[in-house]
Structure 1
Amino acid sequence: MRHVYECPLRWSDMDSFGHVNNVIFLRYLEEARIDFMFRLARQADSGAFTGGSVVARHEIDYLRPLVHRHAPVSVELWVAKLGGASVTVAYEIKDTEQVYVRASTVVVPYDLQAGRPRRITEEERRFLGNYQDDAAGGSGGA
């Protein structure tokens, strides 16, 4: 199963060529990931990811330029790999006609009080397992 986040395009996202700036795509991924891990996961388990998390790695493939328009783009997100102390989230930024970006992010749960990474809890593992999609191909190295 995939989580779908509808992401609006903002005029300030554009570069001088009229395309979404490459750095902005990371913001779109972040918005989708926050919606997934901090809204959806906490609805499923109020303690999920409350201690924090950090991004360990991003990988992104820019496939086509995206120009400003009033319709949002969909950021589809799924779990590509689930380890003991990390999760690899894969994404596609797309609309009904084409895929603009494929990407992946390695996220590490983090204990903010102890100042160190931590293991994924069983509750978090169950939630993340619902979004595993090993069959989803072409996800930016995931």
Structure 2
Amino acid sequence: MRNYKILIVSASFVLFACSKGGDSPAPVTPPVVVAEADITFKVEIPANTEIDYTKIYGAVGGSQDININVTSALPKDGVTIDVKVTKDADNTAVFNKNISSTTAATNTISISSLSPGVLSTATVVVTSKTKSTNSATKTFKIAAK
């Protein structure tokens, strides 16, 4: 009789040990990663008229307003805009402007310190604040008349 009691107790331990465990946790859904659009933009002088990047732009006087119009979808954190103008003759800086953060599609910058008859190269770089490797660059020639 004692053996039967031990057998019954042992069998109950075996049955409980082999029972189905708790449910496994639900799989975690990975976050949806939205690919950021490549930065594209155009330089406009005057507004709504994209310049011809292969020609020299003649500025009237010592300054010129330019519109930088981001045509791609803006990154969620915005963009930075760098404008640098250098003299072609000796590569010295004429003008530098940095907009460290903007979420506006169109930004106006006034290039100043242009000297009459001096050919310069303007370089505009637009970079995503979210992904620093996402940037675009445009260059054009400018000279004051």
TM-score over 0.5 for the alignment? no
Question: TM-score scaled by structure 1?
Answer: 0.30
Find the structure with the greater CA-based Rg.
Answer: 2
